[in-house]
Amino acid sequence: MTPTIFGLSGTQLTADERAFFREADPAGYILFGRNCEDPLQLRALTDDLRSIHGRERLLVSIDQEGGRVARLRPPHWADYPSGEAFARLYAIAPASAIAAARANATAMALELSAMGITVDYHPPLDLRIPGAHDVIGDRAFGADPMQVAALGRAVLEGLAAGGVAGCIKHMPGHGRTDVDTHKALPTVSANAAELEADLAPFRSLKHALIGMTGHLVFTAWDAENPATLSPTVIADIIRGAIGFDGLLLTDDIDMKALGGTIPERAARAHAAGCDIVLNCWGKMADMQGICNVLPTMSEATAARLDRALAGTRLAPGMTPEQAELLATRDALLALTGTAA
């Protein structure tokens, strides 16, 4: 198995993709809006992916946070609020906010599992830092580390209850960024003492099964390399100070925050200590190049992947439980007196 997650070009596999994926045997796949037309098409696509590999559990993933980061949207799929909605409720009723976040995540997972999706890149545990770039912004569960950890834990629990594995991101913290990593490389100049706040939510949820790195330079730890490409940050901070021992994915290596060719980025990230390289755009030349430079998946990574997927399950279709959970969520969010 190749330690990478690949994107797809469209709503169906092309003949070239099918042949390539069968030979490359990637760890899994990521879906975007371009791959998701309606529920029947999407489940057929994910079933097709599983048929290629014959694995009982296959990593089929998506970015479905809610708010502006949602690949599945109405009218075919439910609407989910951003993290800010739960942060507003937490300010007046913490227990209600936790219950709402858990219900929301379970409803989301039931929908994803019915679509054949097993992993959601959610929750972000990045702090909302005043004055920072809004690439995180309303996606965050707040500025207080304890609050972010509490709501993040509820999301992980809710997703797991619906048969989907969550993923904590973006380690070791994306909240202080001054630019959008899709477009440029941020440099965070906060000192190690200040960065303890950023680490705190990840440390609280260090037993999460999947985590994702961020493409940011932290001068306090490694002034030369972004976290994704830094052996120091991965070994000393993510694996060390945070204590995370789950499956560690890169953020999308196609982002402009990183330099070099796509295969070069993949090789550097893997050498730095990332278990799995995430490449989102379904460009055949890039995917072939990645396979040419990455080794076969290690036993340690394979064990982490197995643990991450062990609790996932697919639903045959939607059930009334989803509507009940969404109604519970909406009733709780209404306590703030504002729309979700």
Helix/strand/coil for 26: strand
Q: At what angle do helices 284-293 and 15-24 cross, to 10 degrees?
A: 10
Take residue 296 and report the two structure tokens written for it.
């076969």
- Taking only the tens of pLDDT, the chain with its 340 residues reads 999 999 999 999 999 999 999 999 999 999 999 999 999 999 999 999 999 998 879 999 999 999 999 999 999 999 999 999 999 999 999 999 999 999 999 999 999 999 999 999 999 999 999 888 889 999 999 999 999 999 999 999 999 999 999 999 999 999 999 888 889 999 999 999 999 999 999 999 999 999 999 999 999 999 999 999 999 999 999 999 999 999 999 999 999 999 999 999 999 999 999 999 999 999 999 999 999 999 999 999 999 999 999 999 999 888 899 999 999 999 999 999 865 5
pLDDT of residue 301: 98
pLDDT of residue 317: 87
Q: Check 63, 126, 222, 251 and give the catalytic one.
A: 251
Q: Check 38, 47, 79, 182 and give the catalytic one.
A: 182
Per the omega criterion (within 30 degrees of 0), is the bond before 122 cis?
no
Question: CA-CA distance, 79 to 150, in Å (whole number)?
Answer: 23
Question: CA-CA distance, 331 to 315, in Å (whole number)?
Answer: 26
In the chain, what are the domain boundaries? Answer: 2-87+117-157+165-312
Helix/strand/coil for 116: coil
Active-site residue flag, 76? no
Active-site residue flag, 174? no
Q: Which CATH architecture has domain 2-87+117-157+165-312?
A: Alpha-Beta Barrel (3.20)
Amino acid in the structure at residue 310 = A
Question: What residues contact 110, with CB distance under 8 A and at least 6 apart?
Answer: 162, 163, 315, 318, 319, 321, 322, 325
Contact 129, 175 (CB under 8 A): yes
Reference 267, options 255, 280, 282, 253; nearest CA is: 253
Contact 164, 234 (CB under 8 A): no
DSSP structural state of residue 70:
E
